[in-house]
Amino acid sequence: MRILLYRADGNTAPWVKDFADLMPEAEVVVWREGAHLPTCDYAVLWTPPQAMLAELARVKAIFLTGAGADAIMKYSHAIPPHIPIVRLNDAGMGIQMAEYVTHAVLRYFRRLDEYETQARSGAWLQLEAREKADFSVGVMGVGALGSHVIEALRPFGFPLRAWSRSPKSLDGVDSFHGEAGLDGFLGSSRVVVCMLPLTEETTHILNRPNMMKMPQGSYIINVGRGAHISEPDLLPLIKSGHIAGATLDVFRNEPLPAQHPFWMEPRITITPHISALTLRRESVEQMAAKMRQHARGEEVADVINRTKGY
């Protein structure tokens, strides 16, 4: 079995080593533009360079080193539909998302963002405690990662909401779905956590009209994709206080440009797309198991639905 590997950062050696350890039967070929490459069975990558597309059309399956499919869906037209594109399922990301989101929710609930600001000016001032009942947390997108986050939030006793494309029922969670359920979800979520896949329908789902439906003084945590939020719409809503704070891990343009106004807004907390890092060892383990299944002619889970786009 031969695996074609591409890493945009060029740091291929640790991946080659992990495949050698966990899949000794496979030979890993590192993709290089212009190089004469042997025929490969599987490709492992995140976003392919344009020059790699012809090669991708020849493999038996493509394995993504991430959970989201939007990066490769841009090139979907160049990849024949019979070639499955397989994404990672959790592979250590669920717990990271749970840590990140729980931390952000608790920080807002316990007003630690405000205490951080006070501490910088040497102010000792106890703010009023918040009521859990006033601090409903709504998660948009309840797939493998979203459900992990909901489970992590459960013990704290926040009223929980979920919004998904199709109906989902989660114990003890007020579930909303589809276009028709969006207003009710947004209107009753003091904190909105965006964990949606990025598709045409979800692009700019958090635009001004929709953010205005959230309660006054609410919070946004975005760990989905930058394009879920209309960035120019967010800033005025933060300035007016309608949105009291936002924790953003993803941005329309990454790295977030140095001149971007978000950097200057203290009520926006910025992290560099780290809410769920790809854990190499766990990911290689999962891909190796799926490649072996595919090679045996068995069905492989987590194949992207090209129509849905995730």
For position 84 contacting ligand GLV by CB under 6 A, the verdict is no
State how far the alpha carbon of 231 is from the alpha carbons of 70, 149, 262, in Å: 19, 24, 9
End-to-end CA distance of the chain: 27
For position 197 contacting ligand GLV by CB under 6 A, the verdict is no
Assess whether 273 carries a catalytic annotation.
yes
Q: Select the span of 17-25, 64-72, 111-119, 151-159 touching ligand GLV (CB under 6 A).
A: 64-72
For position 245 contacting ligand GLV by CB under 6 A, the verdict is no
Q: Select the span of 63-71, 124-132, 181-189, 288-296 touching ligand GLV (CB under 6 A).
A: 63-71
Which among 148, 161, 165, 225 is annotated as catalytic? Answer: 225
Are the C-beta atoms of residues 38 and 29 closer than 8 Å to each other?
Answer: yes
Would you state the structure tokens that stand for residue 183, as one six-digit string?
């207003």
What is the smallest separation between the CB atom of 292 and ligand GLV, expressed in angstroms?
22
Among 48, 68, 143, 181, binds ligand GLV (CB under 6 A): 68
For position 66 contacting ligand GLV by CB under 6 A, the verdict is yes
Nearest in space to 85 (alpha carbons), one of 141, 47, 35: 47
For position 72 contacting ligand GLV by CB under 6 A, the verdict is no
Residues 6+ apart with CB under 8 A from 2: 26, 27, 28, 29, 38, 39, 40, 41, 42
What is the smallest separation between the CB atom of 80 and ligand GLV, expressed in angstroms?
23
What is the smallest separation between the CB atom of 68 and ligand GLV, expressed in angstroms?
3
Which among 7, 252, 267, 273 is annotated as catalytic? Answer: 273
Site for ligand GLV in 266-285 (CB under 6 A): 278
Residues 6+ apart with CB under 8 A from 185: 138, 140, 161, 162, 163, 176
Of 68 and 94, the one with the shorter C-beta distance to ligand GLV is: 68
Residues 6+ apart with CB under 8 A from 5: 12, 15, 16, 19, 28, 29, 30, 31, 43, 44, 45
Residue with tokens 């991430």, as numbered in its chain: 66
Size, binding site for ligand GLV by CB under 6 A: 4
Of 68 and 245, the one with the shorter C-beta distance to ligand GLV is: 68
What is the smallest separation between the CB atom of 120 and ligand GLV, expressed in angstroms?
31
147, 151, 152, 158: CA torsion to nearest 10: 110
List beta partners, residue 164.
Answer: 177
For position 67 contacting ligand GLV by CB under 6 A, the verdict is yes
**Active-site residue list:** 225, 273
Interaction site with ligand GLV (CB under 6 A): 66-68, 278
